Chain A
Amino acid sequence: GQQVMQIPQYQHVQEGEDFTTYCNSSTTLSNIQWYKQRPGGHPVFLIQLVKSGEVKKQKRLTFQFGEAKKNSSLHITATQTTDVGTYFCAGRVGGATNKLIFGTGTLLAVQP
């Protein structure tokens, strides 16, 4: 079946270090969305990428969509304790289906 995997599952960093999570799909995606879920909270939309090779930045966060539209990455520069949470990618598989397939998520822990 359609799967969207994320690596790593868990990352522990010292505050100020960089962090990257990778999202890989077995099939081509029409789009990629990224969500953040704080501990005990609900997923919150961060950004959407649609074009092949697209790169978007939000302050310390950089999002990329692969050329083949099968992978994506989220990079955080100089992590802060407020970055703690689980980061999910979600993509729509091309074709008639309308559903977003969520990735397995990466839990980021930041030690002050």
Chain B
Amino acid sequence: DSGVTQTPKHLITATGQRVTLRCSPRSGDLSVYWYQQSLDQGLQFLIQYYNGEERAKGNILERFSAQQFPDLHSELNLSSLELGDSALYFCASSVGQDSYNEQFFGPGTRLTVL
């Protein structure tokens, strides 16, 4: 158990819909990262927040957005969902803000878009 929690574990929805994935980092960690893992794309970095502020951005679509709240939990919002958005979404956390920090991954949310 990494100490990072993600909800829900599974999510099944239809194209065009909007969903919210939630992540709570390890106690004491200020950074939260979001990743998308699909069979053909591997592990893709989406976005990082550090202490409430956006710190780094990866290949995140405009239909996707994220935020980190004062209690440090984070939400990833996916809208106008397409079939290709079906994937495993991981949240990770670390103590510091730079990429030299070890990242602790949560169990993931499996999103299926029908």
Contacts and interface: CB of A to CB of B under 8 A. Distances in A.
Interface residues of A, number: 23
B49 to A, nearest CB: 11
Contacts of A105: 42-43
Interface in A62-109: 88, 90, 92, 97-105
A4 to B, nearest CB: 9
Interface string B20-44: 0000000000000001000000111
Interface in B82-109: 90, 92, 97-100, 102-108
B56 A97 contact: yes
B42 A42 contact: no
A92 B42 contact: no
Interface stretch (A10-18, A20-28, A43-51, A52-60): A43-51
A42 B43 CA distance: 11
B18 interface: no
Interface residues of B, number: 24
A44 B102 CA distance: 9
26 contacts: A33-B102, A41-B107, A42-B2, A42-B90, A42-B108, A43-B92, A43-B103, A44-B2, A44-B105, A45-B103, A45-B104, A90-B43, A92-B99, A98-B48, A98-B55, A98-B97, A99-B45, A99-B48, A99-B57, A99-B99, A101-B45, A102-B42, A102-B44, A102-B45, A103-B42, A105-B43
